[in-house]
Structure 1
Amino acid sequence: MSDALRPLTRPKLYEQVVVRLREHIAASGLDVGDRLPPERELAERLGVSRASVRQAIVVLEVQGLVEVRHGGGTYLARRDLEAEPVDELVARRDRLPDVLDAREGLETKLAELAAERRTTADLAEIDAAVADMRAQVERGERGADGDRRFHAAVTAAAHSSMLAEFMRTIAAEIAESRQESLRQPHRPPKSLAQHERIADAIRAGQPRAAAAAMRRHLRTVSRVRLLSWNPDADEPR
């Protein structure tokens, strides 16, 4: 049987709401920081349930297009409306837990080994990475480059060629999880502070403390809006 005759699928209602909301943002001239209409008003104007509007707003939020302030409404976060398609978003959501599990398993061990094996040059690079991220965060940036440099420096300080190779094989997935974490509201300063605690434990030569600090950091990384979203939820038409 030809694959062309596979069952047809219909877009979920909230996916159609996402398209309409993006059209509204483009046509209404909303600027960054402007508030979108309340959920109730959007639902009435679109002729859908508030649940479908809420689902659509979650999609826009995890795409980085809007910021939801609990109790304070939804605000445009960026004017560029080019966004990740919903099906790609779903695929990323599905693979993210495995990536986070792999990071916790590998990077807690790397932090432990770094505390045992670090050299003066390793510590200098770890400190430089922390300073790099701090400067980025102070400029109002997410600090992704400093974050990447920090985790690379810890990996190098562990002096384990096998673990370093494992990290290289999932580098793209790690970068994806980094971006997802750092786009969370107020996350960059928190990640910076956690990096500083990991660096302190490595500098002090405390393997257990370094591993524990890395584990706490990666569990913070895992707390992202994308993983609390249920893409299969929708309202009947």
Structure 2
Amino acid sequence: MSNEDLASDELRTQRDLRAYQIIGQSLLQRIRSGEFHATGKLPTERELAEVYGVGRAVIRDALVMLEVKGLVQSRQGSGIYITKAAYAEGWPDRKEEFADRPLSEAPAPKWLDILHAQQCLESHIARQAALAGADEGGALEELVERLRQAPSPTELNRLNGLWHATLAQAARNSELMWLSQQMWERRAQAATAQTLGDYPNLAATRQLCALDHRRTLEAIRKGDADRAYFAMWHHFENLKALYKPEKAPIGV
């Protein structure tokens, strides 16, 4: 085997490793959101492979990762069942910290905390928009093109917020619209976001937002709720990879 072949194999291995970790985390978040509560188990490997657009081997690795942690249990011939631990692990009991505290006294937002919270919310909004059969596709497509040509970080930030607001409208749920708006306001308040200047790497962020939002829009137009969800989830993973402020407290 040549050095080029070895390098290609190494790149594929690294890519697959990252894929199964991302998919495992995505499944865990979907479990905790209550998405699979009705059945108590995950879709089949084949179904998950189709949703995430990867091979079954990658899905199998993601499921093994969850099973090793005691979060799912595979039962031969029956399916992949979710354990009680999946709903509780990793979530500290902080009710004393927030008890009786008015919203006006909420703790200062942290960049990665906000980004992860948005990831959870916006992914579900994308799913709901696909299920709702939204007719905002034209407006969303126009905003994608304007995002791609945004002349400044400030304009890119404004257009990106408008795209997400239009997406929330497409979900046909007034509470989701309100929550999305509040999340964007919290993000604007985040000290780390201010340090970052929102989008210091303008060209890279423009391209990332345009490509990822178009991928989400395509899934919504097809009414494919699962693909819309994962496209939006992956968009925020891309943002996290692009912006890694060294002093940001890790909240994900």
- TM-score normalised by length of structure 1: 0.50
Determine which structure has more spread, i.e. the larger CA radius of gyration. Answer: 1
- TM-score normalised by length of structure 2: 0.47
